[in-house]
Amino acid sequence: IVTGVQTCALPISRTFRVALDAEETRALLQDVPRVYHTQINDVLMTALALALRHWTDQSLLLVDLEGHGRDAVFKGADVTRTVGWFTTIYPVLLELDAGWGVGEALKRIKEQLRRLPGRGFSYGLLRYLHQDLKIRERLRQMPRAEVSFLYLGQLDEALREIGRAHV
């Protein structure tokens, strides 16, 4: 459990739109993860962290990370015969050094995310269902993230698969 973390209010909200062409998208989805031995969600989380680091000038970033829970969270869990998602939302405190380049930041963020036990699955159990009221209250009193992150995956491929199944 992290204690003593201070969060700052983010500056006035702004909207940024960035579009990648087909080649840039392919490189982002295939080349970058292969070169850095990582996953696309790590790349996107690093991009978010770098943008917020630049915007807020803070070296610590508290983010609520959301997962859909369809991946195996613990050994032996077979969710293939279930319907729906098992959404998990858990806080992640990321550290970013201003001197890190993009490649170094990607490696470090990936390492920080890999250290999370069970991809944060147990956080909700501890915060909402633990029998010890002190533990639940301590988790409720922790600073709240002002930013949420969710990567749904490549929906276009999933939709193509669904379309093929119905033809």
10 Å CB burial of residue 45 (0-12, 13-18, 19+) is buried
Of the CA atoms within 13 Å of residue 137, those in its CB half-sphere come to: 3
116-125 pLDDT, tens digit per residue, is: 887 787 888 8
| Cβ-Cβ contacts under 8 Å for 102 (sequence gap 6 or more) | 46, 50
10 Å CB burial of residue 38 (0-12, 13-18, 19+) is buried
Q: What is the DSSP letter of 131?
A: S
pLDDT of residue 70: 64
User: In the predicted model, what is the mean pLDDT of residues 103-114?
Assistant: 94
pLDDT tier at 160, thresholds 50, 70, 90: low
pLDDT tier at 79, thresholds 50, 70, 90: confident
pLDDT of residue 1: 38
Cα Rg for the chain, rounded, in angstroms? Answer: 18
C-alpha–C-alpha distance, residues 72 and 95, integer Å? 27
